[in-house]
Amino acid sequence: MLKEFFPNKSLLLAACAACIGGTFQYGYNISIINAPTTHVQNFINQTWRERYQTDISADVLTLLWSTIVSIFTIGGLLGVTVGGTLSVKLGRKGTLLANNIFALMAALLMGLSYPTGLFELLIIGRLLTGINAGIGLCVQPLYLGEIAPTAFRGAMGMGTSIFITVGILTGQVIGLKELLGKEEHWPILLSTTCIPAFLQLLILPWFPESPRYLLIDKGDDERCKKALKQLHGVADCDGEWADIEKEKNNFEDFQAKKPWELLTDRSVRRQLLTILLLNAAQQLNGINAIYFYADYLFKQAGIPADKISYVTVGTGACECITALTCGMLIDRLGRKVLITGGYTLMSICCILFTLTLSFQDASPVFPYVSMVCVFAFILSFGLGPGGVTNILTTELFTQTARPAAYVIAGSLNWLSFFFIGLVFPFIIGLQQYCFLVFLAICSLMAIYIFFFVPETKNKTFVEIQNEFQSRKARSADEAGTTLLSTFR
C-alpha cells in the first residue's frame, strides 16, 4: 500500500545525492553572499589601501562588489551551455560528479582570498560557483526526470526546487551572526560550498547512472536492467523497462540533438516556445522585487532593524515548506493546476501590493497587509512557477531532445536572471507601480498555460509528445477548414 504513495528508498536516496551537490549549491551560493557584504567590502578597501596607500573610491568599490556578486550569473550561463554536452558525453551521473571540481576549486580560492590579500580570487571563485550551479541546474533535473517512474516523476522532479529552497534557507541560517556571520568568519562562510561537493562525491557513486541514458544513449541493456532493479525494486522494474524500450524504438537511429538543431526542428516548436516562456517568466515574475521590498515592509510593520535578518530566514523557510508541499501535491493535482493557479495568485498579490503600498501611510493596518502579501506571493511562487517549471522542461521532450532543451531553457533562464539584475533598479524606480509590470507577466503566463499547455501527469514521455503532435494536427485542420469555408 505504501508503494502507491512513496517511491523506493534507493530512488529517494539517489535523488538526494544528486540534489545535494546540484541545485542545493545554486540556492546556497545565491544566499550566502548576502551576509558578508559589509565585511568583504571592508576587506577590499583594506587590501586597496595596503597596495596603493589610499582608500578605494566608492564607485570602484561598488563596481568590484557588483562584479563579485553578478559574475555568478556569467558562470551560470557558461555552465548551462556545456552542461547538455557533458551530460551526453559523461552521462548524467558522471557529469554531476565531475561538476564538483568547480565547487572545490571555488571554495579553495575564496578561502585563500583573505590570507593572501587577493580580492581577485573572490571574483574567480564566484565565477566557478556559477559554472557549478549552471551545470547542476541543467543536468540534475535530467537525472531526476530519467530515474523516476512515471507515477512519481512530478514529486521526484520537485527535488530540484526543494533543494534550491533548502540551499537558500541553509545559507540564510549559516550567515546569521550567531554562526558564521561575524567579520572574522566570512572567508570560512564563502568556502563552505565545498561541504555539499564532498557529500555528493561520497554518496552519489553508490547509485546507478540514469537507466534511460544507459539503454537509449549507450545501448547497454544489462546495466540498464541492473539500474532499474536498484532504483525501483525487482517487482516494479519490468514496467519501466517496457516504457524505456518503447521510447527507444521510436528512435532507431538515435542521436542526441544539438541546441541549434532543436531550434530549427518544427516538430517541437510549441514545446520549445512553452519552456522558453516558462523559464523567462520564472525570473521576470516579480519574486526578486518581493525580496527587495521585504526589508522595507518589515520595517514599516514595526520589526526592529536588527531582527529583520531573522524574519528573512522566515521567508526562506516559507519557500522551503511550500516547495515540499508542492512535491506532495504535484502528482495528485497535476502540473497544470499548480502552475496556472500559482501565476493567478501571484497576479492577485501584485494588485494587492500596488494598492497597499500606495496607501501605506493611510492606515496602520496596511503595512501588515503588505507583509502578509510578501508571504502569500512567496507561497504562490513556490507552489507553481518555482516548482513546476523544471519538471515541464523534462517532460515536454523525449530523450533525443532533452539535453539540448535544457541548454536552451537554462541559457534563457540565466540571461533573464542577468537581465532582471540589470534593469531592476529602473523598474524599482516606478515604486509601487513596478508590480503592474509583474502583474502583466504573471497574468499572461496564466492565460498561456491554461489554453496551450496540456496536463502531463501520469503520462509517459512518448504520450506527451504524441499529445503535442495531435494538438498541432488539430490546429492545422481547423485552419484548413476555416480557409475552405472562406472560399465557398
- 300: pLDDT strictly greater than 70: no
Mean pLDDT over the full length of the chain: 84
Average pLDDT over residues 431-457: 89
- 292: pLDDT strictly greater than 70: no
Average pLDDT over residues 157-174: 89
- Global pTM reads 0.84
The confidence score (pLDDT) of residue 152 equals 80
Average pLDDT over residues 190-216: 93
**Distance between CA atoms of residues 83 and 403, nearest Å:** 8
Q: Are 168 and 116 in contact (CB under 8 A)?
A: no
- 95: pLDDT strictly greater than 70: yes
The band of 483, judged by pLDDT with boundaries at 50, 70 and 90, is: very low
Question: What does DSSP assign to residue 151?
Answer: G
The confidence score (pLDDT) of residue 425 equals 65
**Distance between CA atoms of residues 64 and 60, nearest Å:** 6
The confidence score (pLDDT) of residue 378 equals 86
Q: Taking the mean position of all CA atoms in its chain, how far away is CA 384?
A: 13
**Distance between CA atoms of residues 241 and 1, nearest Å:** 22
The percentage of residues in the chain with a pLDDT greater than 90, rounded to a whole number, is 29
The band of 309, judged by pLDDT with boundaries at 50, 70 and 90, is: confident
- 130: pLDDT strictly greater than 90: yes
- 429: pLDDT strictly greater than 60: yes
3-class DSSP state for residue 432? helix
The band of 248, judged by pLDDT with boundaries at 50, 70 and 90, is: confident
- 1: pLDDT strictly greater than 50: no
The percentage of residues in the chain with a pLDDT greater than 70, rounded to a whole number, is 90
Q: Are 74 and 131 in contact (CB under 8 A)?
A: no
Task: For the chain, report the end-to-end CA distance as a whole number of angstroms.
Answer: 61
Q: Which three cell numbers stand for residue 439?
A: 502583474
Long-range contacts: 101-104, Cβ < 8 Å, 24+?
Answer: 102/128, 102/129, 102/131, 102/132, 102/135, 103/21, 103/25, 103/128, 103/129, 103/132, 103/193, 103/194, 103/196, 103/197, 104/194, 104/197, 104/198
- 482: pLDDT strictly greater than 80: no
Rg of the chain taking only CA atoms, in angstroms: 23
pLDDT in tens, 323-334: 888 888 888 888
